[in-house]
Amino acid sequence: MAYSDRVRKAATAGRKIEAIKLLREETGMGLKEAKHAVEDLQRSMGIESNASTVGGSVAGLVKLVGFVLACVLIYRYFAA
């Protein structure tokens, strides 16, 4: 599929939602189809879409905090 420069720039900059909106406006695609197309475009460009979203960053941070907390609890249990 050929993407416009506007869609490519938005996808490259990590603005996934903007890229999806632009693609839908330009092609008339449905939401699901446009989302998959933008994700495929980002993958082909070497961009990880989850890492570029705030939600992905927050989810990763929550997992890290949970892991650290578990380590602290295990350490305190065996140190007592």
HEC-encoded secondary structure of 44-73: HCCCCCCCCCHHHHHHHHHHHHHHHHHHHH
What count of other Cβ atoms lies within 10 Å of the Cβ of residue 37? 20
Q: What is the pLDDT of residue 57?
A: 72
Residue pLDDT, tens place only, 14-69: 899 999 999 999 999 999 999 999 999 999 988 875 544 555 677 778 889 999 99
Side-chain-facing half-sphere of 2: CA atoms under 13 Å: 1
Structure tokens at 43: 């993958």
Q: What is the pTM of this model?
A: 0.60
